[in-house]
Structure 1
Amino acid sequence: MKRLALGLMLSTFFACPEPDEPPAPVKPAPVVVALLREVRGAVTLTREGASRPAKDEPVFDGDVLTTGGDGHVTLSGGGREVELLENSRFRVGKTLGDLALDVGELMFLETDAGAFDTALGAARPAAGSRVKMQASDAGTTFEVGFGSLMLFDVPDAGAQTVKAGEKFVVGMGVLSLEEPVLPVKPPPEVKPTLKLTSRGGVSLKGKKLAGPRELDENGAFIVDRAGQLTVEAGGARAQLQASSKGTIEPTSGDTRFKLALREGSARIFLKEGESVLVDGRKPLKLTARTSSTVVVTATKSGPPRVEVLGGAVDSTVGETTTALQPRKGAPVLSLPAARSSRVNWARPGDVALLLTEGDGEVEVATDAEFQNVLIAAKTVESLVVPAPLKGGLFWRRAGDAEPGQARFERDEYAGAIAAKSDTVAETGLKATVYFQGAVPTLTFTFPVKSDAASWRFRVYSAGNLKTALVDRKVTENKAVVESGALAEGSYLWSAVPTSSSGVEASGGRMNKMDIVFDNSVTRLVLTSPKDGERAAKAIGVAPLGSKLSLNGKPVPLDAGGRFSLATPPGNVAVFKLVTRDGAESFWVRRLTR
């Protein structure tokens, strides 16, 4: 645990009122940088221009702490500890390693050789070092009372090492202290611990885990089918998924914990530079070169399987280190950033999530509140992820006003168009049959005749009474014509009673029927291809006023929204529909099994 003592001079600052602006978009909850404790005397917390007495509570990036003549407060977070003394002013950064000191004095005690960001760049004290940093109009000065300090990039001086009893002054270099600060005994080593939280059925060391707790030793866990166990330590977090078994224990040094999986899988989130151990026949060390997410899956024999979902991770076994990269397979389709889409498909697959410009961390979750995060990683233009058959994905880059989101649905019509059925009765009046995607299955009915053994049923095109399109013998007073046998147009049909000897009755009635296309569809209707079928034509109907593309190329629609064109080459056909209101939907048809 790092312990730092700060002494900063009070300074007065003024804030100019900002002009009225429209309400800002809703932002994600701020990240806790540190927790305040041991608050004594006059300590003021200033947040977003408002000041109040401080108490034991969390602080965030941009908060300002000011102590009076009797004030004292300790900040703890991210494995570091900062002690703010009387008459000091300290601005909280993104981590407690950000030492942005405008004026005053800052004391820090380092126990594990961590690096700090200062006005002179990165500064790395040796383990157990005690250093005073002073800031004034003349520049920044470092005094080392115990241990040593490495300054990496001093302007006009390069790298500098300051030892015990020495100080570094800008423009003068390293000088001896007239009165060296006596060595201070480093604080006792703090035993590493893990923070555990759970949901559903989880047991630890043979007992049901109820509520948050800390673990400072090896612990065997079992997660049932509806459970999840979350383990946190510093910048590393593991979600042990349902039906998982194994052991977890905290580690010291340059790794956060050691995980041994016997069954199931774990989703591990790592901040830049963080490392964890995955136990197996040969221990595997995973180190994040940038913010990353990794899935570790137990195997029946052999080492666990490791897959990088986002970021960049080094895998080290013994003396061998291998760079692991995220999946780069061919996604089924790409989904736009900061917009809402709907995907209809018969089989799930990988999708590419397009991202807004920037270098902020990217999150992918299954909920709009980003409570169930699947991936947290640094990436640039897109992220290829597995998508569910049914469900949702939400993704955003830090700073985005709106996330991208997609709803995935099973395409109930991927196998075939479910044409409606309709009944046409012999009434003496013209019947009109309306259809959308496909002409429905038609059931023709006619009166029962006591002396009829059967009926001769015929359907003619209105423009050709010489050749029947349908000509069959039926033994009931109805005839069924399957979908696809007749197309849009005008028809005449008759059902002539026939005696047992096969003689047709004289007379009979010719009935009129029109089959009319009616485009009132609100979704894309695909007649062809079916999922898993290599069809020659892509045929269907789109809602009126919509725009349709197939694998990125515009699809021409007739006045009724119908289309028929050659199926594109490749194994996937992706139809993108944009309706009048701008809503985007995708239909995915695989052209192979």
Structure 2
Amino acid sequence: MRVRMLMGQASITRGGQRSALQEGASFRLRAGELVVVAREPLASLLLGKGARIKAPGSDRFTRPGSAAQPIEPGTTLEAGAQAVEWQDGAGSRVRLEPGAVAVYRGAFREGLHREGALELQSGQARVLMQRKEGESVFQEIQSGDTRVVATPVGTLADVAVSRREGESQVMVRAGEARVSAGEKTLSLRAGQSATVRRGEVATARLSAFPLRVREGQTVRVFSDRAPRGVTFSWKADDAQSVTLEVAASRTFDKTLFREPVAGEDLPFETGRFGTYFWRVRRGGPGEGEKPGPVGSVDIARDPAASTRGGKALSNLVMDTGIQTRILFQGQAPALNFSWKEVPGAAAYRLRVYAEENLEHPVLEARAQSGRYQLPAGKLREGIYFWYQAALDGAGRELSVSQMNRLELAFDNSATLLRVDEPRPGQKVQGGAVVVRGLAPVGAEVFLGRQRLPLDAAGRFEQRIPGVKPGEVLIFELRQRGEAALYVVRHLGG
């Protein structure tokens, strides 16, 4: 029989022998005697050179001497402008967020049991743990008067602890965290958080990511940057246990996440583009878990986010005397007018007329060579006529070209949702942004819960008030018989 004290104190009597068990101690009962189980220290490595470290007994901080420097128990670590990590022999990877300070308390092994410990003095520490079958793995985080013990329930644990003045917060993304504050102890599962302040503990759900998908739903996502994550949601029966599975393949042979989850949703961090398959297993003890319908989320880079709404597309308009026809989607593209240069010409005058008014040009410009670049959006959809004249040094005409016809035609053959505004990282002005783009004819477009009006060609343009800096906008395309499609825009701070 083996006894291990994870929290508190106890005593045990065996064969007339009475022994006190302290926190963290292990004993084995053998032949009527209590035998102390030896704890083997494990080495830990500080990764990177971004931290400042203070050795035990020292009064000053120094910089690491290598990118993988061993650290000993009692070492104080301080993260600067960038996060720092260390990996201990207990199978944990600890990340200190920028500005955080912690004291490394060591890592130990007792057979198949591994344990690490740290004291968080300020900021946030995040612990990532992975265990093999038959192992037990624990990581203790002391945050003021609050003690947190993180451990995997399945194979993973992902627990973050934050410490501010008079307050500690615990967030569980995977695994389990046992939180002790004074005489109160509670257990948190994936999807839950707790805030401890003055001995009082308040629990809540983790904050959801803006992109939320439902069980069994097939979703395509185009984003201007790799999104932080997606919120999986389902309907749960309180009488049943729920296990969430996320995998890289539909067969679930490459499982990324498999954990018991509390509640009816879980914000799952992705951090990269790719395809994620997921399902929820339901069933109580002894019932056998029954998998629900498989959903998938395909997250790809938004091609419209890299073309700058047409600004990166430049169409050549040549002085040929025949018609140039340009099809476009979204914003009218940039135009590159081109003609043959005239010997002795000091400059060229370009004039562009709209079809409905050939007396007054909509554009008059001067160029020093046989090319003139017109920025995107300067000419709208329509028919235009243009010519250029070569000028001498006094501004007199040397020659005049023939009249050219230019047609800019909007192409409404879109099969996906295109968002031209706001641009990625665009700053919010006056608490509002203009949203503009193109959808397939007959489709519907929503921004959050707000339906955006579309014209006959599927175009939309609308000013949206009440937008905050740094907000994430989620556009949804709805088409009968088609999978859900979202476009994600991250606004500037």
Using the size of structure 1 for normalisation, the TM-score is 0.53
CA distance in 2 between counterparts of 1:307 and 1:313 reads: 9
1:296–1:305 Cα contact (<8 Å) kept: no
1:424 aligns with 2:317: yes
Residue 500 of structure 1 deviates from its aligned partner by 2.0
- Equivalent position amino acid for 1:315 in 2: V
CA distance in 2 between counterparts of 1:364 and 1:465 reads: 66
2:387–2:400 Cα contact (<8 Å) kept: no
Select which of 474, 477, 480 maps to 1:577: 477
Give the match's secondary structure for 1:346. Answer: coil
Give the match's secondary structure for 1:379. Answer: coil
1:339 aligns with 2:217: yes
What does residue 233 of structure 2 align with? 354
CA distance in 1 between counterparts of 2:178 and 2:397 reads: 86
What does residue 139 of structure 1 align with? none
1:267 aligns with 2:112: no
CA distance in 2 between counterparts of 1:230 and 1:434 reads: 59
1:362–1:395 Cα contact (<8 Å) kept: no
1:533 aligns with 2:427: yes
Alignment of 1:223-234 (within 5 A): none
Q: Structure 1 residues 586 and 370 mapped into 2: Cα distance closer, same or farther (>3 Å)?
A: farther
1:457 aligns with 2:350: yes
- Equivalent position amino acid for 1:573 in 2: L
1:433 aligns with 2:296: no
1:379 aligns with 2:242: no
What does residue 258 of structure 1 align with? 115
1:421–1:441 Cα contact (<8 Å) kept: yes
Alignment of 1:25-174 (within 5 A): none
2:325–2:406 Cα contact (<8 Å) kept: yes
CA distance in 1 between counterparts of 2:43 and 2:212 reads: 39
What does residue 587 of structure 1 align with? 487
CA distance in 2 between counterparts of 1:187 and 1:250 reads: 20
1:523 aligns with 2:416: yes
CA distance in 2 between counterparts of 1:191 and 1:340 reads: 57
1:249 aligns with 2:71: no
CA distance in 1 between counterparts of 2:159 and 2:491 reads: 33
What does residue 377 of structure 2 align with? 484
CA distance in 2 between counterparts of 1:501 and 1:317 reads: 87
CA distance in 2 between counterparts of 1:517 and 1:444 reads: 20
Higher-Rg structure is 1
Give the match's secondary structure for 2:230. Answer: strand
1 or 2 for the larger relative contact order (CA 8 Å, sep ≥6)? 2
What does residue 100 of structure 2 align with? none
Residue 313 of structure 1 deviates from its aligned partner by 4.5
CA distance in 1 between counterparts of 2:262 and 2:315 reads: 55
CA distance in 2 between counterparts of 1:515 and 1:360 reads: 60
Give the match's secondary structure for 1:395. Answer: strand
Q: Structure 1 residues 314 and 498 mapped into 2: Cα distance closer, same or farther (>3 Å)?
A: same
1:346–1:412 Cα contact (<8 Å) kept: no
What does residue 278 of structure 1 align with? 140
Q: Structure 1 residues 495 and 468 mapped into 2: Cα distance closer, same or farther (>3 Å)?
A: same
- Equivalent position amino acid for 1:407 in 2: D
Structure 2: where are the runs of 5+ without partners?
Answer: 5-12, 15-28, 48-67, 69-84, 97-103, 120-124, 194-204, 282-289
Select which of 277, 297, 311 maps to 1:406: 297
Q: Structure 1 residues 283 and 443 mapped into 2: Cα distance closer, same or farther (>3 Å)?
A: closer
- Equivalent position amino acid for 2:464 in 1: T
Give the match's secondary structure for 1:396. Answer: strand
What does residue 402 of structure 2 align with? 509
Residue 461 of structure 1 deviates from its aligned partner by 0.4
Select which of 552, 555, 561 maps to 2:458: 561
Q: Structure 1 residues 299 and 336 mapped into 2: Cα distance closer, same or farther (>3 Å)?
A: closer
CA distance in 1 between counterparts of 2:247 and 2:211 reads: 18
What does residue 363 of structure 1 align with? 244
Residue 318 of structure 1 deviates from its aligned partner by 6.4
Give the match's secondary structure for 1:467. Answer: coil
1:223–1:240 Cα contact (<8 Å) kept: no
Range with greater deviation from structure 2 (469-478 or 533-542) = 533-542
Alignment deviations for residues 378-398 of structure 1 (CA, whole Å, 9 cap, x no partner): 323211233314344443211
- Equivalent position amino acid for 1:286 in 2: V
1:287–1:313 Cα contact (<8 Å) kept: yes
What does residue 362 of structure 2 align with? 469
- Equivalent position amino acid for 1:367 in 2: A
CA distance in 1 between counterparts of 2:170 and 2:131 reads: 13
Alignment deviations for residues 470-524 of structure 1 (CA, whole Å, 9 cap, x no partner): 1011121222211111010000101012222211246642211111111343432
1:309 aligns with 2:176: no
- Equivalent position amino acid for 2:490 in 1: R
1:251–1:258 Cα contact (<8 Å) kept: no
Residue 456 of structure 1 deviates from its aligned partner by 1.2
1:297–1:304 Cα contact (<8 Å) kept: no
Q: Structure 1 residues 454 and 529 mapped into 2: Cα distance closer, same or farther (>3 Å)?
A: same
2:473–2:490 Cα contact (<8 Å) kept: yes
- Equivalent position amino acid for 1:220 in 2: L
Residue 329 of structure 1 deviates from its aligned partner by 2.2
Q: Structure 1 residues 514 and 249 mapped into 2: Cα distance closer, same or farther (>3 Å)?
A: same
CA distance in 1 between counterparts of 2:381 and 2:366 reads: 24
Q: Structure 1 residues 560 and 469 mapped into 2: Cα distance closer, same or farther (>3 Å)?
A: same
Give the match's secondary structure for 1:492. Answer: strand
Give the match's secondary structure for 2:360. Answer: strand
Give the match's secondary structure for 2:330. Answer: coil
- Equivalent position amino acid for 1:574 in 2: I
Residue 295 of structure 1 deviates from its aligned partner by 2.7
1:425–1:446 Cα contact (<8 Å) kept: yes
Alignment deviations for residues 343-366 of structure 1 (CA, whole Å, 9 cap, x no partner): 314363353211244433322435
What value does the CA root-mean-square deviation take over the aligned residues?
Answer: 4.7
Q: Structure 1 residues 191 and 431 mapped into 2: Cα distance closer, same or farther (>3 Å)?
A: farther
- Equivalent position amino acid for 1:361 in 2: V
Give the match's secondary structure for 1:417. Answer: helix
Give the match's secondary structure for 1:491. Answer: strand
2:224–2:488 Cα contact (<8 Å) kept: yes
Give the match's secondary structure for 1:559. Answer: coil
1:280–1:304 Cα contact (<8 Å) kept: no
2:127–2:157 Cα contact (<8 Å) kept: no
